[in-house]
């Protein structure tokens, strides 16, 4: 009986170990395919300068069936905030290149393979300029029609693409996907859940940390995606963890560390408090805008707010049963047909 009991205990322990090993296995449903590699496009790594003479790194994708001497419409694609081009942006860029566009997925300055110190710093104006720098680069390609360049901004890059388009009329059409207004999110939280007093405490903490670092103290990081899931983890933490901390979408750029991925510096993150990308969004008109969000997305409020403020032509496209990060990589949910028709019409 003792042996039987011991066997039962060992069996139970092995079962618990197996469960622990799979507790946070990636959810690959609905065709999740972040690291998609297309056989129908040509990929090239490129580097170019933004307005501040900083190197911006990108992945340039062109259709393999391009006609010699022809000029094609082009799209700049920006990654989610805290991510890099290998997370979501490359997927979108390849899928749109398969549909006849020249596409350029970029690493925002301070992230990925782009320049900028300190790493993971927040500077929204420079992020927006990276989109315009990508337009500069594309405009000089002999196979791109400089009068037909648009932008796709995913998550935080949606607000950076909007910010860029407000002052760069060369961006002829903008689509955002699961957009975060990084200014509003940091000032007021989701659904205005953060008070002014809480905001002031964050600013005070960042100011103390700034002085500490100025006098030689160690740099601190904030926000980003949690590195472990517990029974206390909320649904949003679990959603981001599934993408950024599992094989579904985890990616650590060369020269970085897994511990720092997705985390901006504490002292620079408060720059978002002064970021108002939706102010004057109506001035982008008559250039068209398409706001794509999921019906279940915790970020849906930002796309709806931008849509209300924008002038015609504009469209709010809601993907049924899709959450925020679902539209990062779940190709069965991402409305690529809608993106294709929008840009073909807008950039014709």
22: pLDDT strictly greater than 90: no
Phi-psi label, residue 224: left if phi above 0, alpha if psi -120 to 50, beta otherwise: left
d(CA 156, CA 108): 11
1: pLDDT strictly greater than 80: no
Q: Return the exposure string of 70-89: e unless at least 16 CB atoms fall within 10 Å of the residue's CB, then b.
A: ebbbbbbbbbbbbbbbbbbb
Show me where the domains of the chain are located.
Answer: 28-192+274-346
- Partner residues linked to 72 by β-bridges: 144
Question: Is residue 58 within 8 Å of residue 97, measured between CB atoms?
Answer: no
| 21-25, 241-245, 298-302: range with lowest mean pLDDT | 21-25
14: pLDDT strictly greater than 80: no
How many CA within 13 A on the CB side of residue 90? 22
pLDDT band for 15, please (50, 70, 90 cuts).
Answer: very low
Chain segment 302-320, per-residue pLDDT in tens: 999 999 999 999 999 999 9
pLDDT above 70 coverage of the chain, percent: 93
- Which is nearest to 150 in space by CA: 178, 177, 171, 127? 171
**CATH architecture, range 28-192+274-346:** 3-Layer(aba) Sandwich (3.40)
Question: Is residue 153 within 8 Å of residue 128, measured between CB atoms?
Answer: no
16: pLDDT strictly greater than 80: no
**DSSP alpha helix (H) spans, the chain:** 2-22, 89-97, 124-139, 157-167, 182-188, 196-214, 235-244, 266-269, 300-309, 326-329, 336-346
**3-state class of 269 per DSSP?**
helix
| Mean pLDDT (the chain, rounded) | 94
d(CA 128, CA 141): 21
19: pLDDT strictly greater than 90: no
For the residues of 181-237, what is the DSSP string, one character each? -HHHHHHH-GGG-S-HHHHHHHHHHHHHHHHHHHTTPPP-B--S--S---TT--HHH
- Please give the average per-residue pLDDT across 48-76, as a whole number: 97
- pLDDT the model gives residue 24: 75
- pLDDT the model gives residue 7: 39
d(CA 176, CA 321): 18
d(CA 297, CA 294): 5
Query: Residues in the chain, how many?
Result: 348
d(CA 61, CA 40): 10
Question: Is residue 151 within 8 Å of residue 76, measured between CB atoms?
Answer: yes
pLDDT band for 292, please (50, 70, 90 cuts).
Answer: very high
Nearest-5° Cα angle at 89, 243 to 257: 55
End-to-end CA separation in angstroms for the chain: 79
The pair phi, psi for residue 73, each rounded to 5°, is -70, 155
pLDDT band for 21, please (50, 70, 90 cuts).
Answer: very low
- Please give the average per-residue pLDDT across 31-52, as a whole number: 98
pLDDT band for 23, please (50, 70, 90 cuts).
Answer: low
- pLDDT the model gives residue 128: 98
Cis peptide before 187 (omega within 30 of 0): no
**3-state class of 15 per DSSP?**
helix
Question: Is residue 313 within 8 Å of residue 288, measured between CB atoms?
Answer: yes
Angle between helices 157-167 and 124-139 (to 10 degrees): 70
């Amino acid at each position: 009986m003792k042996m039987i009991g011991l066997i039962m205990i060992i069996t139970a322990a092995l079962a618990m170990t197996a469960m622990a090993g799979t507790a946070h296995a990636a959810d690959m449903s609905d065709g999740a395919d972040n690291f998609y590699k297309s056989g129908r496009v040509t990929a090239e790594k490129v580097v170019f300068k933004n307005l501040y003479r900083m190197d911006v790194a990108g992945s340039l994708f062109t259709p393999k069936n391009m006609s010699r001497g022809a000029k094609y419409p082009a799209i700049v694609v920006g990654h989610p905030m805290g991510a890099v081009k290998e997370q979501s942006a490359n997927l979108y860029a390849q899928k749109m290149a398969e549909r006849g566009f020249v596409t350029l997925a970029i690493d925002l300055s301070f992230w990925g393979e782009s320049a900028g110190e300190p790493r993971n710093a927040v500077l929204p104006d420079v992020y927006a300029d990276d989109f315009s720098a990508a337009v500069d680069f594309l405009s000089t390609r002999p196979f791109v029609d400089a009068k037909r360049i648009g932008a796709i901004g995913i998550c935080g890059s949606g607000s950076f693409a909007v910010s860029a388009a407000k002052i760069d009329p060369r961006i002829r059409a903008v689509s955002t996907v699961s957009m975060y207004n990084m200014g509003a999110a940091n000032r007021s939280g989701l659904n205005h859940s953060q008070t002014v007093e809480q905001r002031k405490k964050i600013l005070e903490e960042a100011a103390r940390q700034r002085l500490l670092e100025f006098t030689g103290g160690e740099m601190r990081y904030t926000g980003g995606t949690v590195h472990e899931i517990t029974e206390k983890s909320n649904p949003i933490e679990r959603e981001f963890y599934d993408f950024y901390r599992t094989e579904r979408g985890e990616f650590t750029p060369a020269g970085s560390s897994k511990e720092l991925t997705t985390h901006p510096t504490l002292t620079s993150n408060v720059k978002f408090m002064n970021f108002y990308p939706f102010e004057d969004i109506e001035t982008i008109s008559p250039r068209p805008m398409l706001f794509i969000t999921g019906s279940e997305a915790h970020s849906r409020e930002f796309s709806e707010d931008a849509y209300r403020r924008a002038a015609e032509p504009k469209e709010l496209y809601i993907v049924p049963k899709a959450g925020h990060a679902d539209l990062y990589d779940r190709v069965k949910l991402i409305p690529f047909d809608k993106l294709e028709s929008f840009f073909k019409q807008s950039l014709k």
